Amino acid sequence: MTFVELKKTIERNKRFILSTHVNPDADAIGSELAFYYLLNELNKEVKVINHNDTPYNLKFLDFDSVIETYNPEIHDAAISEADTYVILDLSTPNRIVSMEKTLLNFAKTKICIDHHENPDPFFLNVVGGTSYSATGEIIYDFIKKSKIIELNYKIAYQLYAAIMTDTGSFRFDRTTPKIHILIAELLSLGVDPTEVYDKIYDQSNLAKIKLLGEALTTLNLTKSKKIAYMTISNESLERLGAVEDDVDGFVNYCLSIKGVLVGILFFELKDGFKMSIRSKGKIPVNKLANEFDGGGHRNAAGSRLFNVKMKDYIKPVLERAEFYLNQ
């Protein structure tokens, strides 16, 4: 779907549902809120509904408390009455978990705005692509190129959070000259970069810091010394009173070790485990994640496996990671 087609769809329709993936990050929350404010400027009826609650460190982005947590008794009727269902920052329907059925059964216009590889063929209207650093960048481009509205502070704030986090605070490969020019415009509209960074990364609860301490004690290197990994048990999570979102960013400590090119965090849950995988250079950890029912980008990917034991997967994952070191 082109920007021209997206603009026409927005202008033609009145009622919109917006949603994003389970355990949303700042690109997910920032992008859907930016799109909400865009539609609000055009006097559209909009509901933002997510599978689960917004992580505590991202709640500040929801200026007007518009994000709702899905409840079928409350939301199914509103979803069925909408003209357009917009999914942001994900490429497969199952990533909205409890809301998947509402999307699959939605008979009207469905739009996927995303920057991940291999969008599910279910999505006939895909906006964006892998050339973008973040879903927030896609929305910025759409606003600027379509001239559908004027960029404003509320939207700029969301887009800054989205792009800053998904570029690794402007460290990842897709941090291009264009990104810095774009960010300069967002700052000119009043966004305070220190404030956004502080609220996302430097307002942790005590349980998160204690969990990080325990995770770091498990840090190990493979024989090649080019892969670092660490593990977190569900027992640690519950004992410390931490939450699943607290582990966000822990995997980056693996890559801070000299000579390490791939970092992996294994995170045990009650019904399986999650992996967060990061790499430097051209090592395609998205391909590694794909082998274990996951996905992502070349340098940042992940996977979520259900009803399996984490300990059974650590060795096979590390062996495949060594394989991709040489690709």
- pLDDT category at 50 given cuts 50, 70, 90 is very high
Pairing of strands 262-269, 227-232: parallel
Mean pLDDT of the chain: 93
Residues 6 or more apart whose Cβ sits within 8 Å of residue 274 = 266, 267, 302, 303, 304, 305
Q: Which value, to the nearest 10 degrees, does the dihedral of the CA atoms of residues 307, 310, 311, 312 take?
A: 50
Tens digit of pLDDT for each residue in 61-110?
A: 999 999 999 999 999 999 999 999 999 999 888 888 899 999 999 999 99
* Helix runs in 124-246, H state only: 135-146, 153-166, 177-188, 193-201, 206-216, 234-240
- Chain centroid, CA 82 distance in Å: 25
What is the rounded average pLDDT of the residues 149-155? Answer: 97
- The domains located in the chain, with CATH, are 3-200 (3.90.1640.10), 206-325 (3.10.310.30)
Tens digit of pLDDT for each residue in 231-264?
A: 999 999 999 999 888 998 899 999 999 999 999 9
81 residue type, one letter: E
pLDDT at residue 245, rounded to an integer: 85
